[in-house]
Amino acid sequence: MRNTTLCHLEQDGKYLMLHRVKKENDENRDKWVGIGGKFEPGESPEDCALREVYEETGLTMQSWAYRGIVTFVSDQWGTEYMHLFHSKDFSGTLRDCDEGELEWVDKARLLRLPIWEGDKIFLRLLDTDEPFFSLKLCYQGDSLTAAVLNGVPLPLDK
């Protein structure tokens, strides 16, 4: 099982998103995702989020909210525990990322871009200021087959 972080940096009604187009054999290939990555030995979720945001964007989070944990279960990629963060308070100069193209994306437009179906659920939770949550998302290939929020199954839009 992998531990990862994902951070949504927000500014002026937009999220800083990464269009994953540069790495081969990337489970997120061609999708739009937030900023984050895998834990390094000895890191806490906060350590990892701060490091990944800086490495991928050149920005330093001054404050952030640890919003939830998302358990991804995939028949292709295994199981991942993703620690989800949100920040509106950061500094620095945005730089190019070697994993894809960075872009400030209007939150309403984001839902029309190629993103993981389950991401729509936690993006909604971020926007509604849901308290700390546990979300389990199950995938077969790219298809979301189950979603469970705080132990309660969610209906899937088909």
- 4 alpha-carbon distance from chain centroid: 9
pTM for the model? 0.93
More confident residue, 142 or 85: 85
State yes or no: pLDDT of 24 exceeds 80.
no
Q: Tell me the β-bridge partners of 71.
A: 81, 136
In the DSSP assignment, the letter for residue 121 is: H
Residue 158 has pLDDT above 60, yes or no: no
Question: What are the residue ranges spanned by the domains of the chain?
Answer: 2-153
CATH class of 2-153: alpha beta
Rounded to an integer, the average pLDDT of 101-123 is 94
